[in-house]
Amino acid sequence: MSCIFCKIVNKEIPSTILWENNDLLAIEDINPVAPVHCLIIPKSHVTTVAEVDGNQLKSLPQCIEDLIIEKDLKKHGYRLVTNAGFDGGQEVDHIHFHLLGGKKLGKMG
């Protein structure tokens, strides 16, 4: 499998791991667009949120809660985004959620 996020999940290439359980891995984005830019990556390889097994997302709220405490995002807020396909601006073909914060973010679109 040549998918870069599968390699990160399998620890074949390094990343800065922030949170992990059997279903999800959260890492620092290598090219942050905000002071806080984490990626939450479901471990199994599917492309978009429309295809993922919902069981794999059961711990997503807990992961987010832990990250927003760790990253001190509770007071000022944050944004959770998943890009899908060409129009959505998805570059890595393995589902992931961007957790962004640490500054006032611009409107999307």
Count of positions on this chain that bind ligand AMP (CB under 6 A): 12
Q: Which of 6, 29, 48, 52 binds ligand AMP (CB under 6 A)?
A: 29
3 binds, among Zn ion, ligand AMP, none (CB under 5 to 8 A by kind): Zn ion
Q: How far is the CB of 4 from ligand AMP (least distance, A)?
A: 5
Residues noted as catalytic:
96
Among the candidate windows 12-20, 38-46, 80-88, 98-106, which touches Zn ion by CB under 5 A?
Answer: 38-46
**Phi, psi angles (nearest 5°) of residue 20:** -160, 140
**Phi, psi angles (nearest 5°) of residue 25:** -130, 130
For the four alpha carbons of 105, 107, 56 and 9, in that order, the dihedral sign comes to negative
Q: How far is the CB of 69 from Zn ion (least distance, A)?
A: 28
Q: In the beta sheet, which residues pair with residue 15?
A: none
56 binds, among ligand AMP, Zn ion, none (CB under 5 to 8 A by kind): none
Residue 54 DSSP label: G
Report the distance separating Cα 37 and Cα 73, nearest Å: 11
Instruction: Assign 5 to helix, strand or coil.
Output: helix
CA 33 to chain centre: 13
**Can residue 87 be called a binding residue for ligand AMP (CB under 6 A)?**
no
Which residues of this chain interact with ligand AMP, rule CB under 6 A?
4, 15, 27, 29-31, 39, 83, 89-92
